Each structure stands twice: as C-alpha cells, then as structure tokens.
Amino acid sequence: MKHIHLLDTSISSDNIGDEIIVDHLKAQLFQNFPDAYFTSSSSHDGLGAFGRKLAAKADLVFLLGTNALHPEYRFLGGGLWPLRPKDVSALENKVILFGVGAIKDFQSIQPMQKRLLRRVLRSEATHFVRDNTALKLVEQCGLKVVNGSCPTLWSLATPMRFAPNDVDSAVFSLTYYRKKAVDAQFVAYMQKRYKKLHFWAQQIEDIDYLQSFPDTLSIPILPPNLRAYDAFLKAEECDVIGSRLHGGIRALHAGRRSVIIAVDNRARDIGRETSLPVIGQGEDMSVLEEMLGNDIVVDMSPLSRLRDTFFAQFEAPASKGVA
C-alpha cells in the first residue's frame, strides 16, 4: 500500500481557484491510486512539524497546482511554496510536480534556487507542469519535465462546440492584483451586452475592485464560495467571461461557454498550447465580440495522452483515465 502525501495548495489559500485545481487533481489521484493511504498538508504555509513527519514517511509527495515555481532563491522559500531547512530534509527527492506553474517569466534560474529544487524534486520522475514558463524552469534544473497543460483540463474528454447564441445572462470576473485601465472597457461592455449580469469573486478583494467602476453597485455578486458557483452554473444558462482562469475552466466543466481574459503567463501559455478560448487583457472589445459571434470549439481530447503518460510512470495505476 502506497502512502501518498499531498502538498495541498487550497489550504491556507484566499483564492478559490486553488480549491478548483485541487478538487480536480485529487479526483484523478484517487481514481489512479484507489488503494493508497493519502495524507495532506499546506503548501502555502510550509510543512510544519506534523506535516514534516507525514512527508518523511510517504512514498510519494505530489505538489498540486498553483504558481509555486520561482526562479529566484529566497531565504526560507517565500512565495507560494516556502521551504524551511527541515522541510527540505523531509521532502528530499520526493516531490512530484502535478500541474504546477511558474510565478513569473524569467531569463535564468538563480543557482541556489536550482540546487534547492534539484534536492526536493524527485529525480526519477517525469514532472508535469502547466505552462512553458514552468517547463523552462524545471528543464534548467536538469530534470525530466513535460508541459501537460493544466490537469483541470484533462477530464474535458469530449470536444465541445459553442455556436453563437442569444444568451442574455453572463457571469464575469476580474483580478484585483492585475489592474489595468482597460478593465473599465470590459466592465462597460459586459453591462451593455447582457441583460442579466452576475459577478464571480474568486478572491474577496475582487469585489472592491469591481465596485471601483461606475454604475456597478447594483450588479449581483454570487456568494464567493465554490459550492454556490457550481450551483449557479448548473441552474443558469449563461456565458462566463473574465480573467479568472480556473473560474472559466470550471464553467466549461459545467457545459457553459467560457472566454478567458489573459492577465499573466498562465492563461497566455495555456491558450497558445490548447484550444482554451483566450484573449489578451489589452485587446479591444471588438475581439471579444468577434469571438462570441463565431463558433467556439474546445477540444481537450489530445490531453488524454498526457494524462495517461503521467500516471503510467507509477507502479500499476488502477485506471488510465478520469471520466
């Protein structure tokens, strides 16, 4: 029986996107390792005393999603994956990257950071990252790595075609820490195009950012939790448009037409590498209108091969594929 320890990026997180990622990744791990003993600890806070004991005893340790990879060395780690010296000892040659991204674009990785990652990342494994920036970072560490895109897309096995339609309801999102003046044009466009408009806050600060724009106080705000968001997507025929990448991916899983507005390297890279509908944050709203006026085809079936490759490297996975 395998002991698998999960570095859970949804614990101690203020971003519901992390909850979406972990929900999808756990489902795939549970299906492929049905007999395993699973434990977990927070990645954002570091292991802690009890987490270190669990990780040290585990056969495999998976780091689940989020932008945890950083090209710069920081004392005690910093960022979204702090590593204290005791953590490094517990994780030595155990961590497998599962859908992890890079925090930012970079030219080269600092030598001390390279040594740190080479020490904790499992040398025998093929790591799966979600964008080319992360791919380059792990390659510079001299480790085996594949850009498997975001594993939240792996279970979108059936191609979807969204024809132009007259849906008058939409959910939209903003990202408070990626503010740009052009966001005002996007908000105004959404108010003009849709009769029924709701706002999805993936982080609570998104609400204040929304309400900094004119005539937005009357826009209904969905309860900022995943259960409420899922229930709305199930009940309401709507479009989902905005800069919250995983809020948009969750909408695709619910069968809703979704367009992502890229505010960082994650969405840009995934949009280039897959059929995920993505436009840039600085694009004129005519680009979004043109996209909505044409068929949108989302076909993630090629990613199923990557999913199979990832799980094939472990001993006797029970099943290749997640429904």
Contact 2, 57 (CB under 8 A): no
Global pTM reads: 0.91
Residue 112 sits in the same domain as residue 164: no
Residue 92 sits in the same domain as residue 118: yes
Residue 264's CATH number: 3.40.50.2000
DSSP 141: T
Residue 143, in any domain of the structure: yes
Residue 318, in any domain of the structure: no
Residue type, 159: P
Instruction: Show the domain range for 57.
Output: 3-154+302-312
Q: Quote the number of domains for the chain.
A: 2
Burial zone of 151 (CB within 10 Å; 0-12 exposed, 13-18 middle, 19+ buried): buried
Say what the pLDDT of residue 66 is. Answer: 85
Residue 132's CATH number: 3.40.50
Q: What is the pLDDT of residues 104-158, one digit of tens each?
A: 788 889 999 999 999 999 999 999 998 888 999 999 999 999 999 999 999 997 8
Residues in the chain, overall count: 323
- As a whole number of angstroms, the distance between CA 47 and CA 36 comes to 21
Low-confidence stretches of the chain (pLDDT beneath 70): 75-78, 315-323
Q: What is the pLDDT of residues 52-73, one digit of tens each?
A: 999 999 999 999 988 899 999 8
Say what the pLDDT of residue 1 is. Answer: 87
3-class DSSP state of 62:
strand
Burial zone of 205 (CB within 10 Å; 0-12 exposed, 13-18 middle, 19+ buried): middle
Residue 320, in any domain of the structure: no
Residue 122 sits in the same domain as residue 175: no
Torsional sign, CA 145, 102, 62, 49: positive
Residue 322, in any domain of the structure: no
- As a whole number of angstroms, the distance between CA 269 and CA 278 comes to 10
Kind and range of the H or E element at 97?
strand 95-100
Residue 235 sits in the same domain as residue 278: yes
Residue 97 sits in the same domain as residue 52: yes
